[in-house]
Amino acid sequence: MSTAFRKPARRKPVDHEGSEQKALISWLRGEYLRKSQVGQAWPATYHVPNGGHRHKATAGGLKAQGVKAGVSDLVVAVPRGGWHGLYIEFKATPPRHAGLQDSQHEWLAGVESHGYCAVLARGLEEARAVLREYMALPPTEVTMPPEQLAAGTDWRR
């Protein structure tokens, strides 16, 4: 086929949000290695891989396993300032950011109503500021011993 009739190849879309989130996690790990206050969050911070494009069968399988629309991108399982932990909905720095979906707004409102700090962070610098501020809060104090569950296998042995 002649090259005169070929359509030009489409450029792959740039994942600005993913790139910035990777930079955030890399920064947080560096802070952990430097033993800074905010770095204490790194061992207890994880990404929830809910987004992205998937084959229909894979998406269906994940949904059956509990994947839910709107779940925040990052979870910091460290209680601070009276909160149980922190959920961060991460968006790219404006003007490359996406809007907050209704399901994401509902998720943030729901976890906040259950005692978690819920934040929308637009970009790397705002997310760093959120993490610094949150980790500077005093640790949440547990005022009663936790109840132990009878169900489940004891992993402590």
Q: Where are the domains of the chain?
A: 14-52+68-136
Q: φ, ψ for residue 80 (rounded to 5)?
A: -145, 150
For residue range 62-106, what is the model confidence (pLDDT) as tens digits?
788 888 889 999 999 999 999 999 999 999 998 887 889 999 999
The topology under which CATH files domain 14-52+68-136 is Trna Endonuclease; Chain: A, domain 1 (3.40.1350)
* DSSP string across 121-157: EESHHHHHHHHHHHHHSPBPPP-SPPPPPSSS-----
pLDDT at 52 over 80: no
